[in-house]
Chain A
Amino acid sequence: MYHLLKQIAITGIKTEAPPEPDEALRVAGERLRTEVLGHFAGALTIRHVDAGSCNGCELEINSLNNPYYNLEGLGIKFVASPRHADLLLVTGPVSRHMETALKRTYDATPEPKLVVAIGDCGCTGGIFGESYASCGRVSNVIPVDVAVPGCPPTPLAIMQGILTAIAVGKK
């Protein structure tokens, strides 16, 4: 236990609220908090759905919860059921085998709901395109509010995508 506590003390707080390399993150963080407070009463819940990605986008979505980005510190957390979610974060391309599961997940999410498509594949179908096995972009299957390009998009880009979706949702 001593070593564990020592390691925690040595590590300190890693969360990059304000300065240096990611000035944009701070701005996004501050604005995000206000938007979340205003629209979803202090907490936004996200259900992630992998609809057929190469799993690259999942790596970066997971990164959002590391201490540097600390998404949960902003009042945004990932939940285990679409019934608890305000926003669906969907990676693609949507494989035809996931089409029904994605539609059902969308239907199970209560209104008002937002959908953010993540990654080049979620935006356009990417390198996999449309085929006998792939429906292509996410908006071919469910309505999408915001699409975040990148292969995979950085955690910062995903955070900005979430912010944009909340702003769209407010209108």
Chain B
Amino acid sequence: MNLENFDFEVTPIPGAMPIWRARVDADEWRHACRHAREKGGRLVALWGADDRDRERAFTVHAALSVQSGLVIVSLSADGGRFPDVSDIFPAASRMQRAVHDLLGLEVEGAADRRKWLRHAAWGENDFPLRKDFVDGRRRPHHELSRDSNAGESAAPRATGGRIPEQPTCGAPAPPLDAYPFVKVEGEGVHEIPVGPVHAGTIEPGHFRFSIVGEGVLRLEERLGYKHKGIEKRFESMTLAEGARLAGRVSGDSTVAHAWAYAMAVESAAGVTPPSRALWLRALLLERERVGQHLWDLGFLGNDAGLAFGLAQFSCLREDVLRANALTFGHRYLMDLVVPGGVARDLPVEGIARLRGEIDVLEEVVGALKYIYDEHAGLQDRFINCGRVAPQLADRLGLTGMAGRASGRAWDLRVQYPNIPYQELDVRMATHRNGDVAARVIVRFEEIFESLRISRLILERLPFGEIAAPVPAPESGAFGAGWVEGWRGEVFVALEAGPGGSIRRCHPHDPSWQNWPLLERAVLGNIVPDFPLINKSFNLSYSGHDL
């Protein structure tokens, strides 16, 4: 069929979301991106695969969102190269650099050819995602648990003091990583390097500030410190085992990633989960959103000097986590979404508990919003701080919650509502100012909306099974999942191997799109405002570094 005037045939893929696929040639690759861009579309993900065993070539894929849904275009990278699209979608740049680091494909015409995910852990001519890559350091999981420190016991165990021999990582320490940062020169300019180990309980990454006085002239990020080989790890797992790993791509978005993965498996296997399972998934996703937004609002108050905010919001969040543990058996709802449905039903007594919790949250969050709104010192720090104007957000492709705070009105729950969202009529929260204050307002509004939805789900939750059996899909079957997590749209592309194995799995966190915007948001602000601006985006390092 033909879709939105793309000049090639697209084939719908089965599943819960409107997703199509098309094979394109090198000209159509760029043309498709330009066409999507002109129609106001976005680049959702770009990744590669080693298909030399089957098609004698590598494949690159790009997921483009357009009015009707998502179009995945696939290009055979003949001669190990493919054309650059970062002039059309600037967010493509880092994704293309990652494709080069992991698969060794050349990006024709790219302005930035520096490495991205690769530091010093593997060589310039080694490409981990190639099928013929020999991982001499791989040890199977069962072998590891036998000589573990902790064994099976649930209690912490002393290791008996120091380990006698000097521990090593199996190989000499990697050489120091050299990376060509862009230098800012001129009178009075100096650099502040920050990280990878940061001064708080946060994830590792490196920020290079070029500043004059206190003002930030340039910020350059260096990520990839947390690269732990997730995509390669998927390829040694079965589709069922992969759900656990998908839930650990970014721990703070475990429900969103697990749901997107499950959706991809179901799409490849042609399975529709029972409706009770879908409603429960939405309940879990909204609880994850509420928990994370509460947490961020607390930290945003704290980073602007209002410790009261952190104390209050972290109590509310702890209440949510405890209700999660009581109702679903896990504080962060890990491993509950599985291919075919959910792993655990909502107990009857849980409904009353969660309803009571929603009533309390609505009241207390309302009171706290009033305090935040009226607090002059807090608003003085929030307003106009770390601003991403709507034009810039549009040009560079800001997405998710931060995008909605900069006038980018995209929310999968609203635009492509699947079950149960099509019956819940989600109201999208948007703002146009694009500053820290706007991201705070959007978070507040999304909490209230999630609470409203959660209440509806508890009222209307259908009865029935909570999981459907998932037969092994045919070898080569393709599936995709697309879910609006609290941070933004989480996307998973999956190709099945023989006998229920995983041939290729690419999980994509919206942090990929939004990290480059943080570099822009901080410009012209002072260094001490960086933690506040950074927190207002709260991007995932793990979800990006893979």
Contact = CB atoms under 8 A, between A and B. Distances in A.
A47 B159 CA distance: 20
Nearest to B319: A68
A29 interface: no
Given A4-B308, A50-B203, A128-B230, A149 B156 contact: yes
A3 B374 contact: yes
A141 B169 contact: yes
Interface in B331-346: 331-332, 334
A118 B51 CA distance: 38
B317 interface: yes
Interface string A122-155: 0111011111111111011111111111111110
B140 interface: yes
Interface stretch (B146-154, B276-284, B385-393, B443-451): B146-154
B138 A48 contact: no
Interface stretch (B21-29, B245-253, B350-358, B517-525): B245-253
Contacts of B332: 56, 59, 152
B184 interface: no
Given A131-B232, A164-B156, A96 B121 contact: yes
Given A3-B367, A148-B156, A131 B229 contact: yes
A103 B167 CA distance: 11
A133 B229 contact: yes
A132 B251 contact: no
A132 B229 contact: yes
A126 to B, nearest CB: 8
A32 interface: no
B170 A140 contact: yes
A57 B251 CA distance: 8
Nearest to B169: A135
A61 B295 CA distance: 13
B150 A147 contact: yes
Interface string B226-240: 111110110000000
A48 B201 contact: yes
Interface in B31-70: none
Interface stretch (B192-200, B433-441, B463-471): B192-200
A119 to B, nearest CB: 10
Given A101-B204, A145-B161, A149-B154, A66 B314 contact: yes
A59 B251 contact: yes
Contacts of B197: 49, 82, 101, 105
A128 B149 contact: no
A141 to B, nearest CB: 6
B158 A164 contact: yes
Interface in A58-108: 58-63, 65-68, 78, 80-82, 93-101, 103, 105
B202 A58 contact: yes
Contacts of A132: 121-122, 126, 128, 133, 135-138, 229, 232
Given A55-B251, A63-B321, A133 B121 contact: yes
B233 A128 contact: yes
Q: Report whether over half of chain A's contact residues are helix, strand or loop; otherwise say mixed.
A: mixed
Contacts of B168: 140-141
Given A55-B540, A99-B169, A133 B227 contact: yes
B312 interface: yes
Contacts of A165: 158
A101 B193 CA distance: 14
Nearest to A92: B228
Given A4-B371, A98-B196, A101-B196, A117 B233 contact: no
Contact of A68 (B250, B318, B371): B318
A148 B524 CA distance: 43
Given A3-B370, A93-B228, A100 B176 contact: yes
Given A129-B140, A140-B169, A51 B159 contact: no
Interface in A7-46: 7-8, 11, 14
Given A4-B371, A67-B311, A139 B141 contact: no
Interface in B132-189: 133, 135-141, 144-145, 148-150, 153-159, 161-163, 167-170, 173-174, 176-177
B60 to A, nearest CB: 22
Contacts of B169: 94, 96, 99, 135, 140-141
B159 A147 contact: yes
Contact of B161 (A124, A136, A168): A168
Contact of B144 (A60, A136, A142): A136
B229 A11 contact: no
B201 A81 contact: no
Contact of B155 (A82, A101, A160): A160
A124 B157 CA distance: 13
A13 to B, nearest CB: 11
A67 B542 CA distance: 28
Contact of B252 (A55, A101, A125): A55
A63 to B, nearest CB: 7
Given A66-B317, A99-B174, A133 B162 contact: no
A93 B202 CA distance: 15
Given A93-B228, A132-B122, A55 B128 contact: no
Interface of A: 3-4, 7-8, 11, 14, 48-63, 65-68, 78, 80-82, 93-101, 103, 105, 116-117, 120, 123-125, 127-137, 139-154, 157, 160-161, 164-165, 167-168, 171
30 contacts: A3-B371, A8-B308, A11-B311, A48-B200, A50-B202, A52-B542, A53-B251, A56-B334, A63-B314, A67-B315, A78-B201, A95-B225, A95-B545, A97-B225, A103-B173, A124-B148, A127-B248, A128-B229, A131-B228, A132-B137, A137-B144, A137-B148, A139-B159, A139-B163, A139-B167, A140-B170, A145-B162, A146-B156, A147-B156, A153-B156
Leading 10 A-B pairs by shortest Cβ distance: A56-B251, A133-B229, A96-B121, A80-B199, A66-B314, A124-B148, A123-B150, A147-B149, A161-B156, A54-B251
Interface of B: 119-122, 126, 128, 133, 135-141, 144-145, 148-150, 153-159, 161-163, 167-170, 173-174, 176-177, 196-197, 199-204, 224-230, 232-233, 244-245, 248-252, 254, 295, 308, 311-312, 314-315, 317-318, 321, 331-332, 334, 367-368, 370-371, 374-375, 540-542, 545
Given A60-B331, A129-B139, A139-B163, 20 more contacts: A3-B371, A52-B204, A55-B203, A55-B250, A95-B121, A96-B120, A98-B204, A99-B169, A101-B197, A128-B233, A131-B228, A132-B121, A132-B232, A134-B229, A136-B139, A136-B144, A145-B159, A147-B149, A151-B334, A165-B158
